[in-house]
Amino acid sequence: MKPTNNGYNITGKQRKMPKGVPFVKGDSRCWRKGRPPSFDQLRALAQAIAQEEIIVSGRTMTRAEAMLRIWSASKEPTLQKAFMEIAFGKVPDKIEGELLTEKTLTLYYNHERPGHGTGLWT
Protein backbone atom coordinates (compact mmCIF):
# COMPACT_ATOMS: atom_id res chain seq x y z
CA MET A 1 0.00 0.00 0.00
CA LYS A 2 1.31 3.43 -0.95
CA PRO A 3 1.69 6.11 1.77
CA THR A 4 -0.97 8.78 1.71
CA ASN A 5 -1.50 12.13 3.35
CA ASN A 6 -5.11 13.23 3.87
CA GLY A 7 -6.20 10.87 1.11
CA TYR A 8 -3.67 12.22 -1.40
CA ASN A 9 -1.04 9.90 -2.87
CA ILE A 10 2.46 11.18 -2.03
CA THR A 11 4.41 8.73 -4.19
CA GLY A 12 4.13 7.93 -7.86
CA LYS A 13 1.65 10.00 -9.87
CA GLN A 14 0.44 12.88 -7.74
CA ARG A 15 -3.02 14.34 -7.66
CA LYS A 16 -3.35 18.11 -7.36
CA MET A 17 -3.62 19.12 -3.71
CA PRO A 18 -5.90 22.02 -2.77
CA LYS A 19 -4.45 25.33 -1.65
CA GLY A 20 -3.80 25.65 2.05
CA VAL A 21 -2.58 22.07 2.48
CA PRO A 22 0.99 22.16 3.86
CA PHE A 23 3.91 20.56 2.04
CA VAL A 24 4.81 17.00 3.00
CA LYS A 25 7.82 14.86 2.11
CA GLY A 26 7.60 13.88 -1.56
CA ASP A 27 5.02 16.56 -2.41
CA SER A 28 5.03 17.28 -6.16
CA ARG A 29 4.29 20.98 -5.59
CA CYS A 30 7.74 21.51 -4.06
CA TRP A 31 10.25 22.04 -6.90
CA ARG A 32 13.56 21.00 -5.33
CA LYS A 33 15.45 21.25 -8.64
CA GLY A 34 14.04 24.62 -9.70
CA ARG A 35 11.44 25.42 -12.31
CA PRO A 36 10.24 22.42 -14.36
CA PRO A 37 12.00 22.11 -17.75
CA SER A 38 8.65 22.18 -19.53
CA PHE A 39 8.43 25.94 -18.86
CA ASP A 40 11.84 26.52 -20.43
CA GLN A 41 10.70 24.55 -23.47
CA LEU A 42 7.53 26.65 -23.68
CA ARG A 43 9.58 29.86 -23.46
CA ALA A 44 11.92 28.63 -26.22
CA LEU A 45 8.93 27.79 -28.42
CA ALA A 46 7.39 31.23 -27.81
CA GLN A 47 10.68 32.91 -28.72
CA ALA A 48 10.96 30.82 -31.89
CA ILE A 49 7.41 31.76 -32.91
CA ALA A 50 8.15 35.44 -32.18
CA GLN A 51 11.13 35.30 -34.56
CA GLU A 52 9.11 33.82 -37.46
CA GLU A 53 8.75 36.18 -40.37
CA ILE A 54 5.29 37.05 -41.67
CA ILE A 55 4.03 39.41 -44.35
CA VAL A 56 1.80 42.24 -43.16
CA SER A 57 0.54 44.79 -45.69
CA GLY A 58 3.20 43.72 -48.19
CA ARG A 59 6.02 44.15 -45.63
CA THR A 60 8.03 41.31 -44.11
CA MET A 61 8.42 41.48 -40.33
CA THR A 62 8.68 39.15 -37.36
CA ARG A 63 5.63 38.17 -35.38
CA ALA A 64 7.05 40.02 -32.37
CA GLU A 65 7.40 43.22 -34.41
CA ALA A 66 3.85 42.86 -35.73
CA MET A 67 2.53 42.30 -32.22
CA LEU A 68 4.36 45.35 -30.85
CA ARG A 69 3.04 47.49 -33.69
CA ILE A 70 -0.50 46.33 -32.91
CA TRP A 71 0.03 47.06 -29.21
CA SER A 72 1.40 50.54 -29.92
CA ALA A 73 -1.64 51.47 -32.05
CA SER A 74 -4.18 49.82 -29.74
CA LYS A 75 -6.83 51.81 -27.89
CA GLU A 76 -6.64 49.36 -24.96
CA PRO A 77 -4.67 50.92 -22.08
CA THR A 78 -3.24 47.61 -20.86
CA LEU A 79 -1.70 46.90 -24.27
CA GLN A 80 -0.34 50.44 -24.50
CA LYS A 81 1.17 50.08 -21.02
CA ALA A 82 2.72 46.71 -21.92
CA PHE A 83 4.24 48.24 -25.06
CA MET A 84 5.70 51.19 -23.13
CA GLU A 85 7.15 48.89 -20.46
CA ILE A 86 8.84 46.78 -23.12
CA ALA A 87 10.12 49.83 -24.97
CA PHE A 88 11.29 51.99 -22.06
CA GLY A 89 11.23 49.78 -18.96
CA LYS A 90 8.77 49.41 -16.14
CA VAL A 91 7.86 52.51 -14.19
CA PRO A 92 9.15 52.13 -10.64
CA ASP A 93 6.48 51.57 -8.03
CA LYS A 94 8.46 53.20 -5.25
CA ILE A 95 9.18 56.92 -5.39
CA GLU A 96 12.65 57.59 -4.13
CA GLY A 97 13.75 61.00 -2.98
CA GLU A 98 15.91 62.76 -0.49
CA LEU A 99 15.45 61.74 3.09
CA LEU A 100 13.98 64.69 4.95
CA THR A 101 15.45 65.57 8.32
CA GLU A 102 13.15 65.31 11.29
CA LYS A 103 11.79 68.67 12.44
CA THR A 104 10.42 69.58 15.83
CA LEU A 105 7.73 72.18 16.40
CA THR A 106 7.92 73.99 19.73
CA LEU A 107 4.93 76.01 20.91
CA TYR A 108 5.54 78.81 23.40
CA TYR A 109 2.99 80.80 25.32
CA ASN A 110 3.48 84.57 25.03
CA HIS A 111 5.17 84.91 28.41
CA GLU A 112 7.54 82.00 27.62
CA ARG A 113 8.84 83.28 24.29
CA PRO A 114 12.60 83.87 24.36
CA GLY A 115 13.72 87.43 23.75
CA HIS A 116 10.31 89.03 24.32
CA GLY A 117 9.16 91.31 27.10
CA THR A 118 6.67 90.33 29.74
CA GLY A 119 3.86 92.54 28.40
CA LEU A 120 1.08 91.20 26.21
CA TRP A 121 1.87 93.39 23.21
CA THR A 122 5.63 93.53 23.27
Does residue 74 lie within any of the structural domains?
yes
Has residue 40 been placed in a domain? yes
The pLDDT assigned to 19 comes to: 72
User: In terms of residue numbers, what domain contains 66?
Assistant: 36-90
Specify the number of domains making up the chain.
1
Q: Residue 112 falls within a domain, yes or no?
A: no
Asked whether residue 83 is domain-assigned, the answer is yes
- pLDDT of res. 46: 86
Confidence at residue 36, expressed as pLDDT on a 0 to 100 scale: 67
Residues in CB range of 14: below 8 A, 6 or more apart: 8, 27, 28
Q: How many CA atoms lie within 13 A of 24 on its CB side?
A: 13
**Residue 44, amino acid:** A
Domain assignment present for 82:
yes
| DSSP classification of residue 52 | -
- The alpha carbon of residue 101 and the mean position of all alpha carbons in its chain are separated, in whole angstroms, by 32
Where the chain has pLDDT below 70, the residues are: 1-18, 29, 35-36, 95-97, 99-100, 114-122
Residues written for the chain: 122
